[in-house]
Amino acid sequence: MEFWLDLNEEQRELREWVHGFAESVIRPAASEWDEREETPWPVLQEAAKIGLYGFEFLANTWSDISGLSLPIANEELFWGDGGIGMAISGTSLAVAAIFGSGTPDQLIEWVPQCFGDAADPKVAAFCSTEPEAGSDVASMRTRAVYHEATDEWVLSGQKAYATNGGIAAIHVVTASVDPSLGSRGQAAFIVPPGTAGLAGTKKLKKLGLRASHTADVFLDDVRIPGSCLLGGKEALDKRLARAREAQATPAAGRQRGGQAAMRTFELSRPAVGAQALGIARAAYEYALEYAKTRVQFGRPIIENQAVAFALADMRTEIDAARLLVWRAAWMGRNEKPFGAGEGSMSKLKAGEVAVAVTEKAVQILGGAGYLREHPVERMYRDAKIYTIFEGTSEIQRLVIARAISGVQIR
């Protein structure tokens, strides 16, 4: 499919639909749930009632062969509010893991349980990061041991900063099956509801995205059926055999393994970049309207070049970031190779633009921008995480540098 920037009717309707929900439901509730620092279950329920929270929504956006529907929806959700937006979209991380590694039967069994229903919405958690294994995925210490006699896997370890960790119905946990193989010796597992041995800490207190639940997760001899290994035991055994064979020829193994890992992570980054875009756009729009009405020295401050030029730069950077996000989303959906780290480019640019734009919005409002009376201070707090999670800005630059140079830069 050709890359085309003119949205079709369905995409425009999607944007207007999600924007309407963000404007009428999310924004009026944003300040309250940020202050409460709790999961906004009533908002999730409203989203579920209209079909905005559920697997069908994700499936419909993914079916768009242009790849643009999910970034469009994410931008509008997070335009409403970053914290509530993450509370709504956080479950999709676990669903993506199930979709990426699971069998069709596993999809049918587990994905509906991730969301629940409109009467009783649920959330899911993807547990990968560890206290000493964030960007360094190969250092993962959580272990998975198979007991053939009982056809069970036993998981032990600790996960950090898990969205919905501990409160989720379904936890998707990555663990090392063969530590000698590094990241190629890892697999993903479903931990069903109520499984003994899994416990989450109380909600972590965060700078931003406060309406989204984040916690550490502890796994103490968590026993799960063999069927909870995503992809199945036979597929895992074949993959481990290939990894061991590649280990015997390190140069080829590094090349093949690195390319596969890069593509896996690259595919998710445009959607995350779109979230950052939504926060940036919201801050820019608020600052623009404020500058038109705020009078100093007898005239609106928008008439001062310093303010007008700042707003011009903010809009330019947002639009530039969106183009990178849309390009990467289209490439990923249409299986175009990320030869220059285009997925990382999109997330890097969008995250850093969100931080810069929200900071400038606070500056334009002056002292008022520092008060919770205005939403830009919340947007400023929410934006910062986008240069940290889902790969820090430094990791994005590393991915891009390796892609464009062909050199294993460290």
Sorted by sequence, the CB contacts under 8 Å of residue 42 that are 6+ apart come out as 29
Residue 390 annotated among the catalytic residues of the structure: yes
**3-state class of 199 per DSSP?**
strand
Residue 230 and residue 192: Cα distance in Å, rounded? 12
Residue 321 and residue 347: Cα distance in Å, rounded? 9
Residue ranges in 215-249 assigned as alpha helix (H)? 233-247
Distances (CA, A) of 20 to 14, 56, 70, 130, 374: 10, 19, 16, 38, 21
Q: What pairing do the DSSP bridges indicate for beta strands 214-225 and 152-163?
A: antiparallel
Q: What pairing do the DSSP bridges indicate for beta strands 170-176 and 124-127?
A: parallel
Residue ranges in 141-210 assigned as alpha helix (H)? none
**3-state class of 175 per DSSP?**
strand
Contact 57, 14 (CB under 8 A): no
Cα 166 from chain centroid (whole Å): 18
What tokens were used for 285?
């729009």
- Residue tagged active-site, from 130, 266, 390, 394: 390
Query: What are φ and ψ of residue 141, in 5° steps?
Result: -105, -15
Question: Any idea which residues carry the catalytic annotation?
Answer: 390
